[in-house]
Amino acid sequence: MTPPLDDILDRVYVVALPMRVRFRGITVREVALIDGPEGWGEFGAFGEYEAPEAAHWLAAALESAYCEPPQPRRDRIPINATVPAVEAERVPEVLARFPGARTAKVKVAEPGQTLADDVARVEAVRALIPTVRVDANGGWTLDQAVEAAKALGALEYLEQPCATVAELAELRRRIDTPVAADESIRKAADPLAVTKAGAADIAVLKVAPLGGISSLVTIADQIGIPVVVSSAIDSAVGIATGLRAAAALPELQHACGLGTGSLFVDDIAETPAPEDGYLPVGPVAPDPARLHALAASPQRRNWWIDRVRTCHRLLADR
């Protein structure tokens, strides 16, 4: 049952977190945090998402804030280093923020960059970390993805190399590198369609766009391929939720994309640094002083409050 809107709005804080580098086209990450009776929830649907899609993110935030979390099966989660689409020379600086990481995810197919840029970045990462995966966010055509798979060398997997399920399925037939699906799961009416079409070897699942931990765990149980739990450029609250989701899964074969907190100049809580490539599982409560210092402008707060109202209406109607 969806909690009453007035109660939710009484619990909302909106923050703007400055980022170290441009990531996914942004340099400031805004999220609405909800101080609920069972913990903190995070509503951070990206600004371009329309209300029907953003409502899933609010559902996830409300689940975290108002519902007891599942029992964990493990107390720490292996994480990958995350390397934005930076110049190859900056790779050591980025990787230094992920002590002990044995896997790195590298952003590729960035608008305005070339495959040569991607190759240079991946090679710089590979010189320091043994296992490399790349994420194209659907930015390649089928032929470009085939070319990139050859040029980039041995990879753990290509994440969302092409935009459509049909392209992913065809790509799997044309290359030996495993293919992971992200947007084709979290933006799909049927998140299981990728495996029905034989379009993915690995499923990248994110708590917020899937509607919460319970939904993610259900999809992981039904999808029939290994799962990687990842973040959506979450604050410390969202990362803690992702870690709880990963801890609840019966199996976890791959490092998870939950180390993105290092992308922020400042966050709403002081959190542990990765130790030997792992992050601990546990609740996170924002520091009141940081909530104040990182508060979004009144205009942006009002924008988010209006968005909560709209998405809440959709959830209540469902």
Work out whether the CA dihedral 134, 174, 188, 303 comes out positive or negative.
Answer: positive
Local structure of residue 89 (DSSP, 8 states): G
Q: Is there a common fold for 5-70+288-317 and 76-280?
A: no
Distance CA 11, CA 93 (A): 38
Question: Residue 310: what pLDDT?
Answer: 98
**3-class state of residue 153 by DSSP:** coil
Question: Residue 262: what pLDDT?
Answer: 87
Question: Residue 36: what pLDDT?
Answer: 98
pTM of the entire predicted model: 0.94
Domain boundaries defined on the chain: 5-70+288-317, 76-280
What number does CATH give the domain 5-70+288-317? 3.30.390.10
Distance CA 136, CA 74 (A): 30
**10 Å Cβ neighbour count for 71?**
8
Question: Catalytic residues, which ones?
Answer: 107, 206
Distance CA 281, CA 48 (A): 31
Strand segments, DSSP code E, in the chain are: 12-23, 26-36, 39-43, 76-78, 81-83, 103-107, 131-135, 158-159, 179-181, 202-206, 227-230, 278-280
Residues placed in the known binding site: 135, 159, 182
Question: Residue 1: what pLDDT?
Answer: 81
Local structure of residue 250 (DSSP, 8 states): S
Distance of CA 36 to the CA centre of its chain: 22
Q: Where are the alpha helices (DSSP H) in 75-164?
A: 91-95, 115-126, 142-152
**10 Å Cβ neighbour count for 233?**
20
Question: Residue 273: what pLDDT?
Answer: 84
Residue 165 backbone zone (phi > 0: left; psi -120 to 50: alpha; other: beta): alpha
Question: Residue 295: what pLDDT?
Answer: 98
**10 Å Cβ neighbour count for 196?**
12
Q: Which of 103, 63, 59, 51 is nearest to 82 (CA)?
A: 103
Dump pLDDT digits (tens) for 218-242.
999 999 999 999 999 999 999 999 9
Amino acid at 70: P
Residue 100 backbone zone (phi > 0: left; psi -120 to 50: alpha; other: beta): left
Q: Which of 102, 119, 113, 117 is nearest to 156 (CA)?
A: 102
CATH of 76-280, one of 3.20.20.120, 3.30.1490.20, 3.40.50.2300, 3.40.50.300: 3.20.20.120
Output the six-digit token pair for 164.
């459509």
Across the 318 residues of the chain, what is the mean pLDDT of every consecutive 10-residue run? 96 96 86 98 96 97 97 97 95 93 96 97 97 97 98 98 98 98 93 96 98 97 97 96 98 96 93 90 96 98 98 94
Residues placed in the known binding site for Mg(2+): 135, 159, 182
Distance CA 78, CA 9 (A): 35
List C-alpha distances in Å: 291 to 40, 66, 288, 306: 13, 20, 5, 20
Dump pLDDT digits (tens) for 51-72.
999 999 999 999 999 999 999 9
DSSP 9-37: HTTEEEEEEEEEEEETTEEEEEEEEEEET
Q: Which of 231, 300, 271 is nearest to 13 (CA)?
A: 300
Query: Tokens 């508060």 belong to which residue?
Result: 295
